[in-house]
Chains A and B, each alone.
Chain A
Amino acid sequence: MRTPRILTLSALALALSLAHPAQAANDADLAQIRDQIKQMKDAYEKRIAALENRLAQAESTASKAETVADKAEASASQAQAAAQQASQRPASANSFNPELSLILVGNYTNLSQDPNQRRLQGFMPSNGELLPEARSFNLGESELVIAGNINHLFRGALVLAIAPDNTLGVEEAYFQTLGLGNGFNLKAGRFYSSVGYLNDIHPHAWDFSNAPLPYQAFFGGQLGMDGVQARWVAPVDTYFEVGVEAARALSFPAADETRNKNGLMSGAVYAHVGGDVNVSNSWRAGLSYFYAEPNGREYDDPLNDTTYSFSGSSQTWIADFVWKWAPNGDASRQNLKLQGEYFNQSEDGTLVYDVNATAMGTQRANFNNRQSGFYAQAVYQFMPRWRIGYRYDQLFSGDPSFGHDPLTSEFPSLKDFNPKRNTLMMDWTPDEFSRFRLQYAQDKTRPEATDNQFWVQYIMSLGAHGAHKY
């Protein structure tokens, strides 16, 4: 570009020098010519500058295009590498985030008797939930589960329960070991005790909408622990597991929640055995023992409006048994589950109460009693997605001793009676994330009335696909 400009200028100069010898032109002409030349020069220079500019732009666009092409190539090869990696990456829906799941439960109940009058006659009220708690539409507990591996050594889990009255509760919050080895597992924090069969299974995974009567009477629904658990699986072909727990027990029959002492409070030991009979049949059986020393465990007797306080020792034995049948071991079409647990609880200590403060003052009785109860149930999946079930519960109130012959008004709720209940259910499970259940119970837990209870319940689970226990 520089060369044509020089050429143009020299051409102009030549023209000027040719015109020079004429000498005819006067000063005015000269000035005019100079002016014209200047104008021409300016115009050329402008055009040249514009052309230069365009060239520079074109050049930079070209190099940009090249960079873009390079980048595209690089990203293509990156994509290829990523695709290759992707196929080798461990399948995890949400990388490093913990597994999240949410359980939504709700029901409609129709009860022939007033739920506020319900009690288990012959048993100290355990202050646990005696579901269903109310008539008509009820929201159940919404559960939020957050769990995940902490590192290669530990796994942690938190189960939050949001009650329908908008209170938040920590149902479980624990860590457990992953690689202790030699069959050992340790767990610490808040967890459901592994005694019995049903106790450490969350209500949304139960086969009926409410807890069996022995759980309601002897554990206030479900036995929770703040403590430690150690388990060991034997290195033999038949499943054999033993476990021990030391904890601040969070429910009846313990009263550890407000206890102020160092060291041990409540404890449990248990053993489970299990195996396969053949490809279609498998089983598990267990024996558990729970010990607590309730100190000042209170209950209000609704029949005489008196508050009682028990202090002493409480021992509970549980025998549990589960049998599962599925043709050829494939439970997806048909399966049958038989399940039963037997509880035996003995308590020995003193009962402090106040029947009529003005007349008698505070009373004290040497109390001891042995009570028992069981439930047995069968749940049959007769075709894909549909199950029916039947459960029978019964409690035996035993023969309480008070150290004296009690007046009829002294312990009205402990007067002997054997509560019974028959429950039928049918549920529909479109897939493993949703379930609808219809349940009918004939509840004879107090002598004066039979409660006919109808339930319609839904259970929904969102999020991570949790693995279920046997």
Chain B
Amino acid sequence: MKRIYAIVLAVLLSAFVLPAHAALKVFATVPEWGALAQEIGGEQVKVYTATNGLQDPHRIDAKPSLIAQARSAQLVVATGAELEVGWLPVVIRESGNARIQPGQPGFFEAARYVTMLEIPAVLDRAHGDVHAGGNPHIQTDPRNLLKIGEALSARMAEIDPANALAYQSGYKVFADKLRSAIARWEKEAAPLRGVPILVQHRAFPYLQNWLGLKEIGSLEPKPGVEASSAYLAEILAQQAVQPAKMVIRPAYQYDTPSLWIAERAKIPAVTLPFTIGGTPEAKDLFSLYEDTLRRLLKAQQG
């Protein structure tokens, strides 16, 4: 017993003699927020990203490695709107880290800074895996990154006042670059306006809202509920009356339903990166949208 106490004490003491002036430790739940924090913070931050672009952000295990990382994080950057409800609360509670508890400055939810779409009027699980706060896939519209980035840079400055100026200018440089990119992308994406599409999962309302794509059907009868073959046949029948130009899916979902429809309806199935790392080309926040547009335009031109 005595030895155990000695070991515990030794580790405990080592916690207090860690280097005082280290980089701001950021725990990002998904790649896009990790990248955003990195763009703003540059060398001032050390970012840990809990998931990669090919993982379903709804279904993550509260792994020991995540708890260990959350333990020493100074800032958690999450999407919110219940996207991470199945794992993040456990990780945060188990971490024993007071700085990142909900309500503390070290807990940042991106969804609080944008206008949410698809806020359900009725909350009933019979309608599928609905999110009370609205559709949480806010990163598919780059204009949201401007608002979130502004709030995030202010939050980083609050937590790490010594580098406040660096975060401010980091955000400004990023925002200027993003604004001009958005203008360019919007010009390029003009042919996509009004194009009717099918989606495999309702993951793209913000992208549709941005580019003017017209969603005419989802391959999930209800959010998070997989389609039966009868339901897919129904979608296919609808195609004769109201033809969609393409069917799109986020990269983390498996391709069977969208390929099934694509083959029979003779329309292209488009895999969108959805986040950084979703496709090999989507390496950062800029190439994420570039690759998304490239893939959509290619499908639109047939």
Contacts and interface: CB of A to CB of B under 8 A. Distances in A.
B240 interface: no
A233 B61 contact: no
Contacts of A430: 225
Interface stretch (A36-44, A85-93, A308-316): A85-93
B152 to A, nearest CB: 15
Contacts of A176: 93
- Where chain B touches its partner, the secondary structure class is loop
A173 interface: no
Contacts of B224: 431
Nearest to A279: B52
Interface string B1-37: 1001000100110110010000000000000000000
B86 A468 contact: yes
Contacts of B297: none
B65 A275 contact: yes
B96 A181 contact: yes
A469 interface: yes
Interface string B46-89: 00000110111001111111011101100000001110011111
Interface residues of B, number: 65
A93 B132 contact: yes
A302 interface: no
Given A152-B101, A467-B90, A184 B68 contact: no
A155 B93 contact: yes
Given A182-B96, A183-B96, A231-B96, A274 B63 contact: yes
Nearest to B132: A93
Interface in A313-358: 324, 326, 328-333
Choose among A185, A274, A465 the residue with the greatest number of B CB atoms under 10 Å from its CB: A465
B97 A431 contact: no
A240 B68 contact: yes
A400 to B, nearest CB: 28
B184 interface: no
A238 interface: yes
Interface in B267-282: none
B302 interface: no
Interface in A262-294: 269, 272-276, 279, 282-284
A431 B129 contact: yes
B115 A330 contact: no
Choose among B80, B96, B133 the residue with the greatest number of A CB atoms under 10 Å from its CB: B96
Interface stretch (B106-114, B155-163, B185-193, B209-217): B106-114
Contact of B88 (A284, A432, A467): A467
Interface of A: 86-93, 149, 152, 155, 176, 178-185, 231-242, 269, 272-276, 279, 282-284, 324, 326, 328-333, 384-385, 430-433, 462, 465, 467-470
Interface of B: 1, 4, 8, 11-12, 14-15, 18, 51-52, 54-56, 59-65, 67-69, 71-72, 80-82, 85-90, 93-99, 101-104, 109, 111-116, 119, 123, 125, 129, 131-134, 224-226, 252, 254
Given A276-B65, A468-B62, 14 more contacts: A88-B113, A90-B109, A91-B134, A179-B98, A237-B68, A275-B64, A284-B64, A329-B54, A330-B54, A330-B55, A332-B56, A467-B89, A469-B90, A470-B63
